[in-house]
Amino acid sequence: GAVVSQHPSWVICKSGTSVKIECRSLDFQATTMFWYRQFPKQSLMLMATSNEGSKATYEQGVEKDKFLINHASLTLSTLTVTSAHPEDSSFYICSARPRGRPETQYFGPGTRLLVL
């Protein structure tokens, strides 16, 4: 149980295009989903927190118009990197918090984005 999937697992795109990453909780309902960014050999940095049916809360320094987050259902959140540039290349990881277990997050396998 407690499986979180991400799609795609990796993506290469041209500079200026937009990329959408999906995060799904497969066998539980997630009241909250989190999006993280991880640079090579570094820790995870929280980008934003999204609650189902409401606007995402972004961490300081994260551009909300650049990283659009939609949490339309209790099992799906999407992150869209708009007008991607090479500096957006990174490993993006989502996590999902099950209903009734606020202390727990289950992580997806990550999406590697390379912007050329």
Partner 1 sequence: GEDVEQSLFLSVREGDSSVINCTYTDSSSTYLYWYKQEPGAGLQLLTYIFSNMDMKQDQRLTVLLNKKDKHLSLRIADTQTGDSAIYFCAESKASGTYKYIFGTGTRLKVLA
Distances (CA, A) of 32 to 75, 82, 116: 9, 23, 32
Q: Does 109 bind partner 1 (CB under 8 A)?
A: yes
In angstroms, what is the minimal distance from the CB of 107 to partner 1? 4
Q: Does 95 bind partner 1 (CB under 8 A)?
A: yes
Plot region of 40 (φ>0 → left; ψ -120 to 50 → alpha; else → beta): beta
Q: Are 75 and 16 in contact (CB under 8 A)?
A: no
Q: Which stretch binds partner 1 (CB under 8 A): 11-19, 60-68, 78-86, 90-98?
A: 90-98
In angstroms, what is the minimal distance from the CB of 42 to partner 1? 8
In angstroms, what is the minimal distance from the CB of 103 to partner 1? 5
Longest dimension (CA), the chain: 42
Q: Does 103 bind partner 1 (CB under 8 A)?
A: yes
Q: Does 106 bind partner 1 (CB under 8 A)?
A: yes
Q: Can you read off the two tokens belonging to residue 92? A: 């993006």
CA distance 5 to 46: 18
Q: Which stretch binds partner 1 (CB under 8 A): 14-22, 70-78, 80-88, 100-108?
A: 100-108
Q: Are 6 and 109 in contact (CB under 8 A)?
A: yes
**37-56: contacts with partner 1 (CB under 8 A):** 42-44, 46, 49
